[in-house]
Structure 1
Amino acid sequence: MLKNMSYKYKILLILLLIGLIPVILIGSFSYYFMHEQAIDKETSSLNKLLEQEIQSMDNRLNSYLSSIQMIAWNKGVRSVLSGHYTAVFDMYLAYRDVIDPIVTSVPSIDKTVKSITIYSDTSLNPHGNILLPLSKAKKQEWYSASSSFTSPTFTFSADYKKLYLIYKIFYYDSSFTNLICFTIDSQALLGSLESLYSDSYGVMLKQKDQALLFSYDKGKGKSQDQLNIADTPETDSKTFYENYVIEFRSLTSVPWTLYLYRPTSVVTAPAKQIAFFVILAVLLIAIIIVGFSLLLSAAIFRPIKELSNNMKLIEQDNLEITVFSDSTDEIGILIQTFTHMVERLKYLINEVLRGRIVQQDYEFKALQAQINPHFFYNSLSLINSKAILAGQEDISRMAQLLSTFYRTTVNKGNSLTTVKDELNNIYSYIDIQRIMRSDSFEVVYEIDNGVLPYKMPNLLIQPLVENAILHGLDYKLTSDKKVLTVYAYKEDDLVFRVMDNGCGMSKEKCQNILSNDSNGYGIKNVHQRVQLYYGETYGLTYTSTVGVGTSVILRIMADVPNLPVSF
């Protein structure tokens, strides 16, 4: 394919490769470098944010754990919750002096703790929201988070607005069950997670068993339920999940893991700008190269194309020069050399043509000087015989015919004659042939007198008549009368037609009659002479049917253009 491509497109392809490959390579390297650098930078940023958030959350959770353990292990609280009460006043004193002060002190210090409730199965009566029966704990949404609460347990409400901290008070010598529940505003713990970035990102908080505690997703990217990181190996701090960059850290205060992720498309946006500029540069360079190739085509390839087209004309025998150049560069020298070569070729062709004309003229002169003497002697012998057997009239007629024939044949050595003299030549020749054959054939003349003044080359019709008599009528086998017909008329050209009803020719012989060599001055010679001086559109046309006859048409110009004196 590349081998047969024109040089114009080969040069264009080479220029495109030279211009675009470096840009594409540099652009690809820049994009890859920016892409990796953006991810590394984002990974570092995620790590820093995670460390800050983990530290803040650990501090906050440790504060809650300390507060609940302080209540759970307070001797007064443990004593009140493990005692047996029969008097309401004793209960009142327990509330006033022990439960209320310690339970209300924590929310007053830490405003994020909205309430503290103790659920107990002791004989104490309910006391507002501070002390409630244990049976009501089982109806709370947090109760299913753990069956034993043997250690402080955190769990979120369904809407993530509340964080519950539940802890069971242990006794070695009491059968009562007491649960402490902190209700905490989750925004104190999670609020900062919802404002880490202004664009797309997401966070997830999971327990050690990968149970989801909290999730938040902002902006573009997959929704939370589509991002599957349940199988994340926590030993790997840098993990890619499809189109996300993910970092995670574990809290020290509780068995939780915090995940922070951002879409790669957002992280690598600067790299995409590099890719955009690379594509823009590639298009711009391609346009410049195509424009440059068009200029190059006008300067280099167009002259080469014109030279190629001119060569094709030469191949079709058209020697006209259609491409020129006065430039001194390589292409100009090539065109000038081609022009000189064509001019030289035309000169050589003209030399060959003149040589052929001289040769034809020589053959014609030889014909004029070497007309078959046997014909002349036979004619004279016949005249003599007639003179003996008949009267002087036949001798006189034959002598006149011979005189006319030889006079018009020799034509004083001139190559041109008039149509009138050419017809007089064949009149004499036909009459002589009729006398020699005892009037064995008839002759019909259809002559337009308007053609008589025109000039034409000498001895063009006589060989046609001779061929019709010797090879047509003489071999006629049928009994009907032999007839020779001669036409002369003018269309756009001069047309001469010789017809006989002789033996005819086969189709193959008729097609080859103008190309086969023959002895002496024959049909082929007449055809070549006509085409040599008038062009290939002129000459002889033969048609023949075996047993019917033959017709030959001679077509020449109505005037003779620039024929040489010696033709």
Structure 2
Amino acid sequence: MILVPLTTLFGYTYTKMSQIIESNILDSTKQAFDQSIDFLTYKIYRIFDISNSLAIDENITNILRNDPDSYLLSNQIGDLAYLRLFLSAYENDSDVSNISLYVNNNFIYSNDNKHIFSMDSLNNSKAINIINTTNSRFVWGTSNYFNNYNKSLDYISLFKTVKNPDNFAEDIGYLKLNFNKTLIEDIITKINSLPNTISYIINSEGIIICSSENTDDIKFLTDLDKIQSYSTTNSFITTSHNSKKLYIKSSSIDKTDWYLVTILPESSVIAKINSQRIYLFLILIVCGGTSIALAFYFVNSINKRLSKVISGMRCVQSGDFNHFIENDSNDELGELIDSYNYMIGKMSILIEEQYKLGKSVKNAELKALQSQINPHFLYNTLDMINWMSYKKMNKEISVAVNTLAKFYKLSLNKGKDLVSIKDELQHSNLYVNIQNMRYNNRISLRINVDEQIYNYLIPKITLQPILENAINHGILGKGEGNGLISILGYSTNSDIVLIIADDGIGIKEDKLNLLLSNNLSSVKGSGYGLKNINKRIKLLYGENYGLSFESNYGYGTKVKITIPKIEKTDKTF
């Protein structure tokens, strides 16, 4: 009776230990992978920010806009000296090793070939072909993306267009920022905690940018469809190659068309597990022998009192909280009996506290849902105001800032979770006004809400995400032209109904089915906002309330909001 459980325990423990070690290895590798993604993103953003600073620098754009026919020689010599000094100053950055500027072929200094190059030197290069065919503003590539390709130059480049501030369709120059490939390789190598682990970066054309190991061993995994599918999950994916099991994880890198991929062989994990097996075996032998020696001594003394505890537990299971056990010992089982007696004495109190705690958790969850406001709207508005400042549009800036201030004043609502329908409509009107500043008054908002429901309450920031969805994926989704959004509001016997309709492109049937089935977790982007609204309303008012959808693809979408009638009072919070 001892040996059989011990053998079973050994097998079970070894299996669980193997699972734990495997899980720990995958978790630690995933953590290193995530840290590498964060560090790579940080480095990429630093280089990208430098390129942005150079591409919009007023002195550089003024120089590049010069007409070669009226560009004085003395001015060209002075500008060449300035550009050399200016570009070399950025090369002191620890991440950027070299910066090149490609200028008009007719500038005298276009053949400087140190910092300054002619745009003719880019003809038929892979980088310029990508820019021209995809109309991109920037390209990340290795040295073979350029005509001056040299295998001895082991670097990666960010190639970026310099636009004419007066005509954004015109490229007046190009920037190339080089940085050493080792900068990336040193980061991804830190992911490999076990032997034979391979990490590498691959771009959207299936070209391996850099790798921690020999790339010949990983050419089997350059299928971008698989890599992209692997990047949709937050954990490792199991696959096989040449009858060998592999763990694979991938993730896209922001601001690039790159994917970071890590391949962890199962054989390396098993080797780690087997090294721990001998220690487990020795521990089980020692513990098993000791257990056999002590089992006979303890079993008789414990059995009687344990039966009392079991009997008491059964009484608790049947709902009897008044069954106390007499105790005359101070050993471990005696302490268990005392704990049991104390437990059933406090059971009623704990049940009551658990009920109160459940209500608090629900309220906390609702607060968390209400706080999830997409920051992209604020970023885009501030970016619009920034460009207005470049254009010295002082009056428009004043209007935009004033409108944004009113918008967020209503959003905050002095910390209150519910607002009047009147304030929510004003909040929506301010949002559409700001969006019209961005999109040249392409959106018309028509509000037809019964004034009798103005003082009824609605969760704050309910309409704005729906309007954002209607603008970004409805009106703007159909291309050129203006669009109309209408808000209809009325009351029924006990409910308030608000209908937001747009004449945008509409929703395709498959996505609409997801919305109609309330499977909003499958929808990305603005769908997350819709899920948020729906869940907030259901948490507040119950499953009978929330959102419903109706759409005719190519003609528009309607979103219906149903909430109960709750009238505004001075004590509403």
Q: Say yes or no: TM over 0.5.
A: no
Give TM-score, length-normalised by structure 2.
0.40
With a CA cutoff of 8 Å and minimum separation of 6, indicate the structure with the bigger relative contact order.
1
Give TM-score, length-normalised by structure 1.
0.41
Highest Rg: 1 or 2? 1
